[in-house]
Amino acid sequence: MDDYIKKTRKPTFNQVLFGFIDKTGASDSDIYKKAGLDRRHFSKIRSNPDYRPGKNSTIALAIALELNKKEANELLTAAGYSLSESDTFDLVIRFCLEKKIYDIHNVNQALDYFSLKPLAGVLE
């Protein structure tokens, strides 16, 4: 079983997230501000390699990083989530990723159009 886990294990959420941040060349603060996350929450993500934020925070980070659908799925999967093809909230997020809608306020307007909650933890 140990061998299986060693061979099969994918990078942690922390590793995937900071890999994407490094690729962008943006600072941590640029990303967490764009995602609408507060500094303390982001610090918890940064300092605890085993920490997994909620699905909405993970989506907000994917949008802030301007990830394409495949990259966003990689980030979500690393956190233990996925985007469903039958849930309206998830479909709105998929649409925004496919259409490269990366402004968090525009994403929240799209969610509001369907009377869905905005991305949680997002500062207004």
The domain ranges of the chain are 2-113
Rounded Cα distance, 98 and 47, in Å:
31
Q: What is the pLDDT of residues 53-109, one digit of tens each?
A: 999 999 999 999 999 999 999 999 999 999 999 999 999 999 999 999 999 999 999
CATH topology of domain 2-113: 434 Repressor (Amino-terminal Domain) (1.10.260)
Entry pTM = 0.90
Residue 18 DSSP code: H
Buried b (16+ CB within 10 A) or exposed e, 47-65: eeeeebbebbbbbbbbbbb
